[in-house]
Structures are given as C-alpha cells and as structure tokens.
A = this chain, B = another copy of it.
Amino acid sequence: MHREDFDNKYRQFVRLVDDALNALVAESDAPQKTVYDAMRYSLLAGGKRFRPVLMLAVCEMLGGKPDDVVPYACAIEMIHTYSLIHDDLPAMDNDDYRRGRLTNHKVYGEAIAILAGDGLLNLAFETMLMHAEHYSSDLKRHVQAMKIIANASGISGMIGGQVVDIEAEGRDISSELLEYLHRHKTGALIKAPVMAAAVLCGADETCVKRLESYAEKIGLAFQIKDDILDVEGTFESLGKSVRKDMQKEKSTFVKLYGLDGAKNKLFSITEEAVNQLAVFGDKADFLSELAYFIAGRQN
C-alpha cells in the first residue's frame, strides 16, 4: 500500500472517530458543565487515535460495518484518555504537558481531573451499552465485545500494568517483568480493539488467532518505540516532556537492551507482526502498513 493511500485511509478513520467522540461528549450547560469541559479538553486534544483506527481497520478487513464498531472504538479511546489524565496527576507521573498542551489537572485542578477521568471511564461503558441495546439477535457478541474491552482496561489488564509500573520505579526489574508490565499497561488496550472487532465481525478461530498474535506484537512494538522516543524525541515532536523515564528511574526497553538493541527488537517484532497477516492476503495491506507506521512514528 502506498504511503499516501495509507495516510488518506488513516485520516478517514480518524475523522469518523473524532466526529463520533465530539457528539458523544457534547458541551453541556448543566450545573456540572465543568466536568464535560474537562473531559472534552483531553478527549478532543487530537491524539493519534491509534486504538480506534486499529479497530476500524480490523472491522473493514473482516467485512464488518464500521457503524457497528464506531461506538466501541470511541469507548476505547475514552478509556485510553482517562488513563492518561490519571497517569499525569501529581500523585502518579506528575506531568505538566500532554499532546503539546497543559495536562488536565494543570488546567482544571486535581479534583476535577480525577473526576473527568472517572467520568470518561464510566462514559465508555455508557456509550457501549447504549449502542448494544439496539441489537437483539447479535446481542451476545456485543456483550462479549464489551467484556473483552472491560477486562483489558481493568486490574488484570491496563490498570494492573500501571500498578506494576509505579512499583517498579527506582528498582531494577527483569526482562520478564518488564514485558509483563507493558503487555498489561499498553498491550492490553491495543489488543482489545482487535479482539473485540474480531468477535463483533464473527471471525473464525484461525483468523482470531492470527489477529491476536498480530495485536500482541504491535502492542510490544508500540511500547518499545515509546521508550526509544523518550530518549530520541523532542518536546516539540512529542508534545510532552522527554527523558522522563530516566529521571524517574523507570525500567525501559532502552535501559534493558540499549538503544541499538531496542531498535533491533522493534524491527524484528514489526516483521513478525506483519507476517501474522499473510492469511488475509492483500485485504491486510492497511494493517501491515500500520505496523510499520508504529515503528516509524515520531510521536
């Protein structure tokens, strides 16, 4: 797939998601309008929308209807955004900038930032349930998709990884624990849109297995690239503080394997991810390119 075609398609997916998110978290004139404002501030700050794009792309490849999965894709982006708001809090990573703007608590204060995060997590489920309610024959698939997303974002998924990350600060950890950490903290919520789309589109067992393996590998690649960017990136390109991992004595893939070692691992795992897609033929062109996009991204 030509890079230009990939970029156009990516932009199309992003527009679908952005329009839906904008409608799902409308402005409000209720007495609690501040929390709507705070949620919109972080949710509509123009992230890469990587997770929802991934979900829409899998759905398209499997012949599903985008309308069936857009609300789930939005829910996953809400969960991702809430996790960033809470991660940035002074009690956690204490970051002042995110996506090139002040973090949520720097603008709205800590109390509202905590509640905006809670609100987004809760709204993710409200959004999915409101959508699922419209189905009857396929309702079971929708409940399964919601369960996949819920498990991925909880204590046995993303939150669990964040806990390990916090407790690992200032300690040397094994490569096994580092992979465990990222498989949960970042990997789970990259795998969830893929697996949820597969369930919603009724993919067969072989396809599900290949997609699962692809998702696990790009999830790991995503984190390795993050660690590399923390060393090589700039505030201007990333929109957030750099060299934070070193300052906070965080274990990273760069610390563990060295910069060149991390880059080699990123390269090989990206190739492995792409190889999983062979079974889908050229229908998988976008997803293949997406794997290379992760490895090459500058933010």
A144 at the A/B interface (Cβ < 8 Å)? yes
DSSP majority for the A interface?
Answer: helix
What are 13 A-B residue pairs whose CB atoms fall within 8 Å in the complex?
Answer: A30-B156, A31-B160, A35-B160, A36-B155, A82-B118, A86-B114, A115-B162, A122-B154, A123-B154, A125-B125, A126-B147, A129-B146, A142-B143
A23 at the A/B interface (Cβ < 8 Å)? no
A110 at the A/B interface (Cβ < 8 Å)? yes
Q: Do B123 and A180 touch across chains, with their CB atoms under 8 A apart?
A: no
Please count how many residues in chain A sit with their CB below 8 Å of the partner chain's CB atoms: 56
Bound CA–CA A115/B144 (angstroms): 25
Mark contacts of A33-49 with chain B using CB atoms, 8 A cut-off: 1 yes-contact digit, 0 otherwise. 01110010000000000
A150 at the A/B interface (Cβ < 8 Å)? yes
A151-186 residues with Cβ-Cβ distance < 8 A to B are 151, 153-156, 159-164, 166-167, 177, 180-181, 184
Q: Do B31 and A180 touch across chains, with their CB atoms under 8 A apart?
A: yes
Q: Which one of A132-140, A203-211, A265-273, A281-289 is at the B interface?
A: A132-140
Q: Do A147 and B129 touch across chains, with their CB atoms under 8 A apart?
A: yes
The answer to whether A153 and B112 touch (CB under 8 A), given A143-B133, A160-B35, is: no
Q: Do A119 and B35 touch across chains, with their CB atoms under 8 A apart?
A: no
Q: Do A34 and B167 touch across chains, with their CB atoms under 8 A apart?
A: yes
Q: Do B35 and A163 touch across chains, with their CB atoms under 8 A apart?
A: yes
Q: Known pairs A30-B156, A115-B162, A126-B147. 9 more at Cβ < 8 A?
A: A31-B160, A32-B155, A32-B184, A36-B155, A86-B114, A111-B166, A125-B146, A126-B151, A129-B147
A70 at the A/B interface (Cβ < 8 Å)? no
Q: Do B122 and A163 touch across chains, with their CB atoms under 8 A apart?
A: no
Q: Do B147 and A140 touch across chains, with their CB atoms under 8 A apart?
A: no
Please name all residues of chain B whose beta carbon is closer than 8 Å to the beta carbon of A35 when the two chains form the complex: 155, 159-160, 163
A121 at the A/B interface (Cβ < 8 Å)? yes
Bound CA–CA A147/B127 (angstroms): 9
Of B130, B144, B153, which contacts A122 at CB under 8 A?
Answer: B153
A224 at the A/B interface (Cβ < 8 Å)? no
The answer to whether A91 and B119 touch (CB under 8 A), given A39-B155, A140-B136, is: no
Please name all residues of chain B whose beta carbon is closer than 8 Å to the beta carbon of A147 when the two chains form the complex: 126, 129-130, 133
A117 at the A/B interface (Cβ < 8 Å)? yes
A89 at the A/B interface (Cβ < 8 Å)? yes
Q: Do A111 and B92 touch across chains, with their CB atoms under 8 A apart?
A: yes
Q: Do A30 and B166 touch across chains, with their CB atoms under 8 A apart?
A: no
